[in-house]
């Protein structure tokens, strides 16, 4: 097993994405009065969507890198076992 696996909840990406999703959700719930028209609600939906997508992309890249590192480590162990 490769060391360095991180819990997603402990990452800064998680917390920044959570803030953007919450902010986006708040913006989408604002009433469409004179101060906050439909563009504010659209912006809120876009902010929430991008926040969630960025977190998903970040975790996918991290997990792919860890899987690749585990594969290399396992292959190295298999090569080392063949030398004995």
Q: Where are the domains of the chain?
A: 8-83
Instruction: State residue 66's pLDDT score.
Output: 83
Instruction: State residue 36's pLDDT score.
Output: 66
pLDDT band at 56 (very low <50, low <70, confident <90, very high): confident
How far apart CA 82 and CA 53 sit, in angstroms, is 43
Instruction: State residue 35's pLDDT score.
Output: 61
Q: Exposed, middle or buried: residue 52 (CB in 10 Å: 0-12, 13-18, 19+)? A: middle
Instruction: Look at 70 and 3; give whichever has higher pLDDT.
Output: 70
50: nearest Cα among 17, 2, 3, 11: 17
Instruction: State residue 1's pLDDT score.
Output: 43
What digits encode the pLDDT tens for the residues 3-51? 556 677 777 778 888 888 888 888 777 765 556 677 887 888 888 888 8
How far apart CA 30 and CA 37 sit, in angstroms, is 9
């Amino acid at each position: 097993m490769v060391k360095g696996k991180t819990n997603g909840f402990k990452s800064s990406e998680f917390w920044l994405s959570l803030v953007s999703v919450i902010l986006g959700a708040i913006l989408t719930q604002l009433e469409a009065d004179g101060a906050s028209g439909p563009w504010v609600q659209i912006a809120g939906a876009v902010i929430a969507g991008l926040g969630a997508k960025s977190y998903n992309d970040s975790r996918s890249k991290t997990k792919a890198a860890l899987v690749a590192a585990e594969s290399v480590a396992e292959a190295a162990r298999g090569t080392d076992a063949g030398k004995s």
